[in-house]
Amino acid sequence: MQGKLITQKAGSVACAPEREPAAGAVDLWARVALPAAAPEPPAEPVAAPGLRLALSLLEEGALTSRAKRSGGSYVGRAVPSAGAVYPYEFAVLVVEDGVPTAFRIDADRRTCARIAVGDRVTAALEASLLTVPADGGALVLTLTRPWLSMRKYGDRGYLYTQLDAGHAAGNLALAAAGRGAAGVLRLRFPRESLSELLEAGENCREIHSALLVPAGPAGSTGPVGSTGGSDEAPNRWTVHDDTDRESRGPTWRSWLESTCWDSLAGWPEQAGSPTVRTVPAPLAEVRAERQLPDGSAGLGEVSGWPELIGTRLSSKAFTGEPVPATAVWRAVSALSTPLETDLPVASPLSATLVLRSTTDPDRDAVYRLDTGERRPGRLPSTDEVARACMQQRALAGAAAVLLLHVPRTSLAGPGSAGDAENLRELAFRCGALGQLLYLGANRAQVGVTGIGGFDTPLWRTLAGLPEDDEILYALLLGSPDDSGIKFDRLAMAHAQNER
């Protein structure tokens, strides 16, 4: 449609160069022309201890990776994202020179815009039932920007946005724990006043979650002995003052993003009541220990987590070689790692493991992980896995598949129970569990990739899931082949049937 418009108008301008351009051509040109760049405000160093802490945590938990990747120029991050799109950003609230201050973070440019100070910040925090942890702690907010994923994946990009943000928020909490200063992750708080303070809604951003990061062991803004999140990281960042809204340049806006945003308006947002009560608990019930020798389950000592985080990556393909069943179970056992959140301990989310190609064929089977039950029945062939993963043939040699699913009735909507979880909360669980599986797989030395391109009805049949269950997320494990390209990063959404 747009291509047609350009061809027609360009043609008419080219035929009559000496005449006044038609009004349509002027309009078109106004549409494609760029406005002037806003002036760059003066840069300041990052001084506030809370901001330094938050930035080094963001570097370690979300923005950088030390994983050795073969081929290409792709520089990864600490977390995976559908299509490597990363459809979210961050804001940080700290006390700066004794004054509560809010910063918007530009992770690509490594800049922090100070956008509000003083009473406005205090009032927004109070209305949100949140606080900035004392003595140099920080409140790190994750804000989703659905358009970034939806412009590639359409409506399904909204689910990927939530899963991606779940990976990031969960990993930030794990990175904080790895530093010996476990954070608390909040999802159930009133968002309106903070959204207004951060100008989120008007700029098509949604507040996803808030991580309260305590200052931690004295002088530590990074894991001991690691290069990933050392105190040097914040030195690459600068701060500028953007508190005077009038003096800022015009905000970037696109009708495409607004259209995308407006299309989300009717989606049910109902969530459980706000609460300040938090408990450390696993995000899903998973019984994997009994499959493992004593003491080998989980992610190991927290001091080893920064290394697991810094070196994780997604497999591009699987060779089809079987992997030891114990390695898969070790990876899966990481799902039981507790995270401190304000979500209910019990959740409608279930995990099912299809263990189909291991070096211990006796253990190959479908397992319902909440009960540990081993289901009878045959296992999917390589062709069936390819079809159930939307013909992502390179991934069909996966040795195991983890499916995260919920009863359709539990997807909160009008009429659902008061403490039901909304899509954001359920997808948060899935994303954070996915991140734990990535770290568990890294520890167990088995390849892993999350996949958003999967055929729910077919997996339901292949894994014997209840008829009314919906799969929110799937992850594949196996023997990795990292020599080729990652199809999922191409502009075309192959695994979502785009042709």
Ligand X SMILES: Cc1cc2nc3c(=O)[nH]c(=O)nc-3n(C[C@H](O)[C@H](O)[C@H](O)COP(=O)(O)O)c2cc1C
- Are 434 and 163 in contact by the 8 Å Cβ rule? The answer is yes
Q: Which of 100, 453, 478, 480 binds ligand X (CB under 6 A)?
A: 453
Q: Rounded to the nearest whole angstrom, what is the least distance from the CB of residue 310 to ligand X in the complex?
A: 12
**Region of 81-89, 130-138, 211-219, 336-344 interacting with ligand X (CB under 6 A):** 81-89
Q: Rounded to the nearest whole angstrom, what is the least distance from the CB of residue 264 to ligand X in the complex?
A: 18
Q: Which of 49, 80, 183, 234 binds ligand X (CB under 6 A)?
A: 80
CA dist 286 and 329 (Å) reads: 11
Q: Which of 160, 237, 261, 459 binds ligand X (CB under 6 A)?
A: 160
Distant-in-sequence, close-in-space partners of 447: CB < 8 Å, separation ≥ 6: 315, 318, 441, 477, 478, 479, 480, 482
Q: What is the DSSP secondary structure assignment for residue 305, as one 8-state letter?
A: H
CA distances for 75 relative to 69, 70, 82, 254, 410, angstroms = 8, 10, 15, 28, 38
Q: Rounded to the nearest whole angstrom, what is the least distance from the CB of residue 11 to ligand X in the complex?
A: 40
Query: Among 208, 258, 239, 401, which Cα is nearest to 318's?
Result: 401
Judged on CB neighbours under 10 Å (0-12, 13-18, 19+), 105 is buried
CA dist 491 and 396 (Å) reads: 22
CA dist 191 and 78 (Å) reads: 27
**Region of 37-45, 199-207, 367-375, 449-457 interacting with ligand X (CB under 6 A):** 449-457
Interface mask toward ligand X for 398-437; x: CB under 6 A: ----------------------------------------
Which residue number places its CB atom closest to ligand X?
A: 80
Q: Determine, following the binding rule CB under 6 A, whether residue 313 of this chain makes contact with ligand X.
A: yes
Q: What is the three-class DSSP state of 140?
A: strand
Q: Which of 46, 53, 82, 165 binds ligand X (CB under 6 A)?
A: 82
Q: Determine, following the binding rule CB under 6 A, whether residue 162 of this chain makes contact with ligand X.
A: no
Q: Which of 41, 50, 61, 76 binds ligand X (CB under 6 A)?
A: 76
**Region of 88-96, 163-171, 205-213, 279-287 interacting with ligand X (CB under 6 A):** 163-171
Q: Which of 228, 452, 478, 480 binds ligand X (CB under 6 A)?
A: 452
> Residue 99 corresponds to which tokens in the numbers above?
């004054």
Q: Which of 138, 185, 197, 451 binds ligand X (CB under 6 A)?
A: 451
Please give the full DSSP string across 19-48, using - where no structure is assigned. Answer: SPPPHHHHHHHHHHSPPPPPPPPPPB----
| Number of residues binding to ligand X, judged by CB under 6 A | 24
Q: Is the Cβ of residue 92 or residue 148 nearer to ligand X in the bound state?
A: 148
Q: Determine, following the binding rule CB under 6 A, whether residue 387 of this chain makes contact with ligand X.
A: no
Q: Is the Cβ of residue 229 or residue 431 nearer to ligand X in the bound state?
A: 431
Q: Which of 392, 410, 422, 442 binds ligand X (CB under 6 A)?
A: 392
Q: Is 225 left (phi over 0), alpha (psi -120 to 50) or beta?
A: left
Amino acid (one-letter) located at 2: Q
List interacting residues with ligand X (CB under 6 A): 76-77, 80-82, 84, 160, 163-164, 167, 313-314, 392, 395, 449-453, 486-489, 495
